[in-house]
Structure 1
């Protein structure tokens, strides 16, 4: 590891200050031993209560790997197979293609478009939250409450849109997929999702600060408050106390935990399923989770609840999470024995960049230098990408051409992308935005981050 730890401390503090992050917890370990930790800011700004390694944060979509791990364990117990047809377990679900398997749900390749079904479970929280409309956007409406996955499936069955591809054909990140997996886990095991997580994962790993329900936060001290940005982000973050819940749907993003507990969890993957002498899952199960099964149009790869890729030539896996009051990231470089967790108490900040900054210091890697692509397009050629792109999940992107590039207006943010190759554009941080076409070359949608949005105008 780079010996200048003081410089690393300074860099992280500056990054948090620049991003206006109220509080952050970061822990890095090598071969299971903590080699670096940094706690910046506050879990409660008004009372100036500092963040610690035990501070409980929301982690949002980091939860998905827990759901995938439960599937692996149940498969090894002979209670299900990832090749099982989903209809076998969820016969009342009619909005599903006949050959869709559990594998397709795990890899977000079931062909589902963006839907509001999962967000309907958040409706009570969104309407109760004074900041709900501002932070979420247009709040969905529905007849009848969505409290759990069976209710969500009823709403999915009412959805009147086409699939975006055959099973396995196209990746599109879907909270609904992981909510359905929760229901399969419960039906295959005969246990509630909470009980199963506690028995299979939390207790063996001694993750004693990990829960799903907001109400259970009252039983703990050292819990973060939630913060949000003003519309222009020019002012400091403000306290926005309401946690968003999704009824009894936990498997897509409801976990609340500490950085120390997350480091215990990452040991499962670093150590091939064995932690503290306990074999949580076999090496084969871990290998299945960490295999890249699909590549997104913008060049990301996905396994089971994990992103798979390389960074500066090093094999890495990880996942991020984001929702109101949450930006999180976990990273594993298995061959190097490196694990990193970053948790923050505000949305829309790059927790991944904080993790990668520490990763570079540990392995003495140079900061990546983004090269300029020689690929260029005229303003006339760029015009075909202009328009409104949106999904029923609530996301909307307005794209407009500019000189040798495009401007993307995304809720409260504006970003510029430059041509990289045909139908592929590069963001300032090096990540890609892809445009999809039909057989005649007409633009049909945009793929940004992990989601597909259909072109509307």
Structure 2
């Protein structure tokens, strides 16, 4: 009799868990549906009502081929979903494991790896960068006004350096090494990374400065960039789909498209400037990174950095308009609230990431089309559905 009662109790518990799981899945499904039907721009003209656009309709309107989304809620990935095509010609659809180019979001991942070397005592953020550069030295000139450039300057875009972004290279053409990129020597297609003003004065977005930090990382660690990042960042965070090099075209990768719907020549560009623009990844992997930042700031995780060094990484160095710039992280001002953020755009790709600094929610959107408006409308939709603190406060114009 006792065995029967025990079995009955176990069945009741199992059934309760089943009902709870079903309800949870149903609730999440309802939220996904709402997100898919609540896209809206932040500035609304010609109306006093907030529109609610459907994601597939907006994809057609903006010529967006594919998009992948990861939503963070309560410090966990609540859902991930892909839409459209990774390769329209082949009819290959986007799924949750499709790799996209992270573009400038590569910079925020780079800063995490760089700060690991700071935590290990291998780099002092406030020493001259030439202290750590071995295979190349930064050529100071009169423009820097005898002020040293530090790693803190590099990571916060306050080094006074040029080279805001990179165009990438066709896959079948010559690819420069990092020193060629820094010196602007063929086959590099970008200008030399040099001073345009004295360091430490103000914000000047510089992918070139980030590439200098890439060389510091490899010169200091004695490892290749990809090897170091895999061991110190990707593996601890279980970012299993993140890479800087594609071995072949059989991988589940998205092809790049322009805003008019035309495909990038050669399918996509390559970026040897790994730290600034070269990461291939998924929204799920970037969401794992964002959650680790949120937990480490609260002292609840230290898979890569301790709370002390994560806090230093998030400490603002310079201001840019209403935002604050930390070490590879932007504190983006949204209607009275700051969110940590980094967006990106490569040839045929755009992406966005926003996370709460203290409430455990966020979103990552990655697309294989050069259209920023669409991805930001998705961020707005997630914020509307999940009731984020003042993220979506529409502005109406006539």
- Structure 1: tracts of 5 or more residues without a match: 129-144, 373-427, 429-457
Identify the residue that residue 294 of structure 2 maps to in structure 1. Answer: 270
Larger RCO, structures 1/2 (Cα 8 Å, 6+ apart): 2
Please tell me whether residue 28 in structure 1 is matched to residue 71 in structure 2: yes
Identify the residue that residue 100 of structure 1 maps to in structure 2. Answer: 149
Identify the residue that residue 386 of structure 2 maps to in structure 1. Answer: 362
Question: Structure 1 residue 7: deviation in Å?
Answer: 3.4
Map 1:383-402; keep pairs closer than 5 Å.
none
Per the alignment, do residues 274 and 294 of structure 1 end up closer, same or farther by CA in structure 2, a change over 3 Å counting?
A: closer
> How far apart, in 1, do the equivalents of 2:208 and 2:345 lie?
16
> How far apart, in 2, do the equivalents of 1:5 and 1:52 lie?
15
Map 1:74-93; keep pairs closer than 5 Å.
74-90=117-133, 92-93=137-138
1:25 aligns to what SS in structure 2?
Answer: strand
1:363 aligns to what SS in structure 2?
Answer: coil
2:274 aligns to what SS in structure 1?
Answer: coil
Please identify the structure whose Cα radius of gyration is greater. Answer: 2
> How far apart, in 1, do the equivalents of 2:346 and 2:219 lie?
28
Please tell me whether residue 186 in structure 1 is matched to residue 218 in structure 2: yes
- Structure 2: tracts of 5 or more residues without a match: 1-26, 38-53
Aligned residues: 343
> How far apart, in 1, do the equivalents of 2:388 and 2:313 lie?
28
Conserved? CA contact 2:83–2:94, under 8 Å: yes
Per the alignment, do residues 302 and 45 of structure 1 end up closer, same or farther by CA in structure 2, a change over 3 Å counting?
A: same
> How far apart, in 2, do the equivalents of 1:206 and 1:171 lie?
33
Greater share of helix:
2
Per the alignment, do residues 150 and 307 of structure 1 end up closer, same or farther by CA in structure 2, a change over 3 Å counting?
A: same
The farther-off stretch of 321-330 and 265-274 is: 265-274
Deviations 1:132-189 (CA, angstroms, capped at 9, x unpaired): xxxxxxxxxxxxx772222233339x97999443211121111110110000001111
> How far apart, in 2, do the equivalents of 1:192 and 1:321 lie?
24
Question: Structure 1 residue 356: deviation in Å?
Answer: 2.9
RMSD: 3.1
Identify the residue that residue 45 of structure 2 maps to in structure 1. Answer: none
Deviations 1:342-372 (CA, angstroms, capped at 9, x unpaired): 0100123332332232123211667423367
Identify the residue that residue 204 of structure 1 maps to in structure 2. Answer: 236
Identify the residue that residue 39 of structure 1 maps to in structure 2. Answer: 82
Instruction: Specify which of 9, 12, 19 is matched with residue 62 of structure 2.
Output: 19
Conserved? CA contact 1:314–1:333, under 8 Å: no
1:65 aligns to what SS in structure 2?
Answer: helix
> How far apart, in 1, do the equivalents of 2:101 and 2:274 lie?
12
Per the alignment, do residues 55 and 176 of structure 1 end up closer, same or farther by CA in structure 2, a change over 3 Å counting?
A: same
Identify the residue that residue 309 of structure 2 maps to in structure 1. Answer: 285
The TM-score normalised by the length of structure 2 is 0.77
The TM-score normalised by the length of structure 1 is 0.67
Greater share of strand:
1
